[in-house]
Amino acid sequence: MAFGNYKIKADFGGQRITDRNSATAFMLTLTAIYRNRPHWKLADQALRHASKSAAAESRASAAFKAAIEAEGWLEN
């Protein structure tokens, strides 16, 4: 199974997200204001189901990437 390799901008933690566990851990650091936004809710739901199949993990990766892009936190 493959999860993307995403770098969060330094202003927002500077973490490298390489798997669903690190993505989940990053999301747990977000305040409720962020976690309640629709793109984070979608990413959270997708990550909860990511272990079910390779396709589910791919969807989780895409949802997480979309969420960090929506916030402007993805480092190029």
This prediction has a pTM of 0.92
What residue type is assigned to position 76 of the chain?
N
What ranges do the domains of the chain cover? Answer: 6-71
pLDDT tens, residue by residue, 14-41: 899 999 999 999 999 999 999 999 999 9
* SS3 (DSSP) at 21: helix
Mean pLDDT over each residue of the chain, to the nearest integer: 93
- pLDDT at residue 50 above 80? yes
Eight-class DSSP state of 8:
B
Confidence label for 1 from pLDDT (cuts 50, 70 and 90): low
Query: Tokens standing for 50?
Result: 């990511």
Q: Could you tell me which residues come within 8 angstroms of residue 54 by beta carbon, excluding any fewer than 6 positions away?
A: 1, 2
